[in-house]
Amino acid sequence: MSAARAKLLVTSWSTVRYELLNTPICDLGLSIKGSPVEPLILQVERELEDKGLAFKPAFYLSDSWGCPNEVPAVGVPFYLADRRLSRVEEEQTGEIEDGRSTLMYLRHEVGHALNYAYRLWELPGWSDVFGRFSRPYRDAFLPDPSSRDFVRHLVHSQYGRYYAQKHPDEDFSETFAVWMTPRSAWQRKYRFWPAIKKLQFVARLMRQIKNRPVPQINAEPLVSPVSEMTILLAEHYGQRAERYRAAAQGYVDDKLCGVFPKVRAADQIAANLLLRRYRAKLCSTISEWSGLDNEEVTTILDKLDDRATALKLKMPRRQGPEKMLELTALATSLAKDFAYTGRFTG
């Protein structure tokens, strides 16, 4: 790969990032099926089966990890469904879940969902072990790092390994997650901790419900499903999307839209056909005028083709020669910018 092409690949990410940040989250076409997070969800479902539990919560994409109050559904951060969005998340927040931490979050949220599905907190003994489920829930709490009355599972949360101390509902979910995790060796690890009684209680409770019919999923509204997230991705991060334009080197959409504006014409063709039909001629002319080699010019033409296709740009068929001249001028201008600066100017 030439140095110029390597620079262009970096530039292309700036373009992709800008486009993502300017897109409403609901229009990003996100789905768990076929996404990077799907195999991890399937693994957790297999773990439930291995434990003899028929219950499987509903999983959906949301703005963050969570489980709607008393609804047996697990919200999964939408950015985990797309590697590009995961990269944006990491750039914006400085962190991103890896496979291990994602599994930990999933097991924790499944604990909530199971609790809600079977209303376990109403069963005899639950409150004696974990405390009152109805206790006020507060986001802020003061953990006791020395306490061994609680398991330590969700080490990536705000309060690290002390998250079980936040509320009885969290205490149960953390305990369930430790019990559920394959090869966690909880019997040995917690054998001298008072928390072992909670793990033993969960183990007994799971044996009791494994043969129970799977409850019907509550039809209550989900919290922040991705289909209802109409804000721009930039707004999700509390930013104005416009500020990313300056950093979006290589952004050519405006220039392409200037060459191929929306018009009303009966006989129209896709703009990318012009690029493909005269590709060899364009490559030769641009290379001669800019001094770039054919590989570098081809990369630029690929970029224009990709954006024209993505934007679904069209042109009146009769304007072919005129648009060919404009397109040659645009591509040559971009090529000269790239030749002199190592980047596109926007």
Query: Residue 186 and residue 179: Cα distance in Å, rounded?
Result: 7
Collapse the DSSP code of 75 into the 3-class scheme (helix H, G, I; strand E, B; otherwise coil) and give the result. strand
Q: Which residue carries 């914006």 as its tokens?
A: 92
Pairing status of strand 73-77 against strand 58-62? parallel
Q: Among candidates 287, 289, 299, which has minimal Cα distance to 5?
A: 299
3-state class of 119 per DSSP?
coil
Is the distance from CB of 90 to CB of 96 less than 8 angstroms?
yes
Residue type, 184: S
Distance CA 280, CA 188 (A): 70
Q: Whole-structure pTM over 0.75, yes or no?
A: no
Instruction: Yes or no: say if 167 and 157 are a contact pair by the CB < 8 Å rule.
Output: no
Query: For residue 253, is pLDDT > 80?
Result: no
Q: For 146-171, how does the pLDDT look when each residue is reduced to its tens digit (9 = 90+)? A: 999 999 998 766 556 788 999 999 99
pLDDT band at 342 (very low <50, low <70, confident <90, very high): very low
* Displacement of CA 187 from its chain's centroid (Å): 35
Name the residue among 21, 26, 7 with its Cα closest to residue 229.
Answer: 26
| pLDDT mean across residues, the chain | 85
Predicted confidence at residue 248, as pLDDT, reads 41
